[in-house]
Amino acid sequence: MICKDMIILGIETSCDDTGVAVVEADSKGCRILSNIVSSQTKVHAPYGGVVPNLAARAHLKNIKPCFERALKEAKNPKIDLIAVTVGPGLIPSLLVGVNFAKALAYAQKIPITGINHIEGHIYANWLLSIQNSKFPILCLVVSGGHTQLILMEGYGKYKLLGETRDDAAGEAFDKTAKLLGLGYPGGPILAQKAKEGNPRAFDFPRPMIRANNFDFSFSGLKTAVLYLVRGLRDSPQSLGTVPISDICASFQQAAIDVLVSKTIRAAKKYKTKTIMLSGGVAANQELRKQLKNEIEKNLPNANFHVPPIKFCGDNAAMIAAVAFYNRKRGQSPLRGLSPSGTI
């Protein structure tokens, strides 16, 4: 299907970031006219994690100013399509974005479409022009709520190869940082501390790394850190001191080993020509570096793509990108507008 030039308004409220973006898309790809993200870190920091009802209230407060700013930065273009995240995510948060999008679509008579949040992270790789991406594509999506290996056989054609059976990788990073007293949001702080530590200082488990599947498990790794910290604090020999940087580096290396190993195995099995990394944890510099190195060593003919760090976290530009490629393959709008936490 030939898809004419479009101006798409993206809306993202699946968790604790309010995102509104305006994207211009045509046969050459996507051009971001504006991409506004309002963080709620200060709201949730006192609780050490996201509180759903507080997140929804913050979305209610932030969404209109974000919308107005996004339009202003984009120089108030005529919107051809509204794309809004409908899940997975926190239902109270999703409702804010979906209801705002519905009201806007009704008032201004603009077509509207519902977008899957995980698809959004995958399509963050298409926010900048990608000339050498070839199907089939293997996508490793790693975030605070999700860890999945997805085989993409074409635009909109997906096969789930594996996912976490318990904690997502990003959740394990955050929880480990919390038990080490590193603050919130913990994942980025832990990654920063890891730069100062020895990744081989502690031999943490690599859960399911040799399992005959592509699923993940990170709760056991997190528990191993908990037991180590308890032992160090109670040990007379350690005098209660805990080598935070070494623990962070060793934990991070264990998690990365599992993520990279499973990705390389899946890419070999399914003979993928392109490998993509996306999601909030894709901002982790060590993961980006080690996955790239292993792909170059084991799959020299495969292309590797990862979004710029500013597009790894939740944002509305990636939601707009999905909508464009859905239209490009002939999908009509006006679908999937009931929010769901488990799509």
Q: From its phi and psi, is residue 187 left (phi > 0), alpha (psi between -120 and 50) or beta?
A: alpha
Distances (CA, A) of 300 to 34, 148, 186: 36, 23, 34
* Contact between 43 and 55 (Cβ < 8 Å): yes
Cα 156 to chain centroid, rounded:
18
Strand ranges across the sheet with 6-12: 29-39, 17-26, 6-12, 81-87, 112-116
The C-alpha angle with vertex 309 and arms to 308 and 311, in degrees rounded to 5, equals 75
pTM as predicted:
0.93
pLDDT value of residue 36: 99
Angle between helices 186-194 and 244-270 (to 10 degrees): 100
Q: Give the tokens for residue 259.
A: 């993520």
> Shortest CA distance to 18 belongs to which of 49, 47, 54, 72?
54
- CB neighbourhood size of 341 (10 A): 15
pLDDT value of residue 253: 99
The C-alpha angle with vertex 230 and arms to 226 and 231, in degrees rounded to 5, equals 115
pLDDT truncated to tens, each residue of the chain (343 aa)? 445 689 999 999 999 999 999 999 988 889 999 999 999 999 999 998 999 999 999 999 999 999 999 999 999 999 999 999 999 999 999 999 999 999 999 999 999 999 999 999 999 999 976 656 789 999 999 999 999 999 999 989 999 999 999 999 999 999 999 999 999 899 999 999 999 999 999 999 999 999 999 999 999 999 999 999 988 887 766 645 779 999 999 999 999 999 999 999 999 999 999 999 999 999 999 999 999 999 999 999 999 999 999 999 999 999 999 999 998 877 766 555 767 766 5
* Torsion angles phi and psi, residue 83, rounded to 5: -120, 125
Domains of the chain, start order: 6-125+311-328 (3.30.420.40), 133-306 (3.30.420.40)
pLDDT value of residue 28: 83
Query: Measured between alpha carbons, how far is 197 from 307 in angstroms, rounded to an integer?
Result: 27
Q: Can you give the chain as a three-state secondary structure string?
A: CCCCCEEEEEEECCCCEEEEEEEEEECCEEEEEEEEEEECHHHHHHHCCCCHHHHHHHHHHHHHHHHHHHHHHCCCCCCCEEEEEEECCCHHHHHHHHHHHHHHHHHHCCCEEEEEHHHHHHHHHHCCCCCCCCCCEEEEEECCCCEEEEEEEECCEEEEEEEECCCCHHHHHHHHHHHCCCCCCHHHHHHHHHCCCCCCCCCCCCCCCCCCCCCECCHHHHHHHHHHHHHHHHCCCCCCCCCHHHHHHHHHHHHHHHHHHHHHHHHHHHCCCEEEEECHHHHCHHHHHHHHHHHHHHCCCCEEECCCHHHCCCCCHHHHHHHHHHHHCCCCCCCCCCCCCCC
Pairing, β 112-116 against β 81-87: parallel
- The type of residue at 41 is T
Cα 299 to chain centroid, rounded:
24
* Contact between 146 and 279 (Cβ < 8 Å): yes
pLDDT value of residue 1: 46
